[in-house]
Amino acid sequence: MEYNTFERCDRMDIFCKIINGEIPSYTIYEDEVVKVFLDVNPDVNGHTLIVPKKHILDIYDMDKETLNHIFEITKKIDKLLREKLKAEGLTLVQNNGLLQEVKHFHLHLKPQYSQKQTLKKVEDVYKELTN
């Protein structure tokens, strides 16, 4: 699936800025449709966000094609989290409305671990995932 330039992020929210390369991110995967980067304020080691490159506000604004792609990429990232971080499961969270802090659709991927984890620096988790 390809988007024309005008369909890409053109709002001023923080995720549009990340997508447009205006601010840095710990990006672990990227294609024409999504950017996948680590949450800077993680709940758990490997807390990841999958964000569509075109500006989609929330679930009500979401199209089936993009959603389908997001779920395909979710499975791919889950494999990476299992392989590199030894995660043993995955929780998906997606806020709409009141609890949605960033007004640009994003799916939270929160890996699960059987052993209690100490929260590492995001930079160190990034290195583990990309080495």
> What does the chain come to in residues?
131
Residue 66 interacts with ligand AMP (CB under 6 A)? no
Tell me, yes or no, if 47 is annotated catalytic: no
Catalytic residue (choose from 55, 69, 106, 108) = 106
Q: Which two tokens stand for residue 69?
A: 């792609």
Specify the residue, 2 or 61, whose C-beta has the smaller distance to ligand AMP.
61
Site for ligand AMP in 9-48 (CB under 6 A): 14, 25, 37, 39-41
Contact region with ligand AMP (CB under 6 A), list: 28-36, 51-59, 68-76, 93-101: 93-101
Which positions from 94 to 123 touch ligand AMP by CB under 6 A, shown as an x/- string? Answer: -x---xxxx---------------------
List residues near ligand AMP by CB under 6 A. Answer: 14, 25, 37, 39-41, 49, 95, 99-102
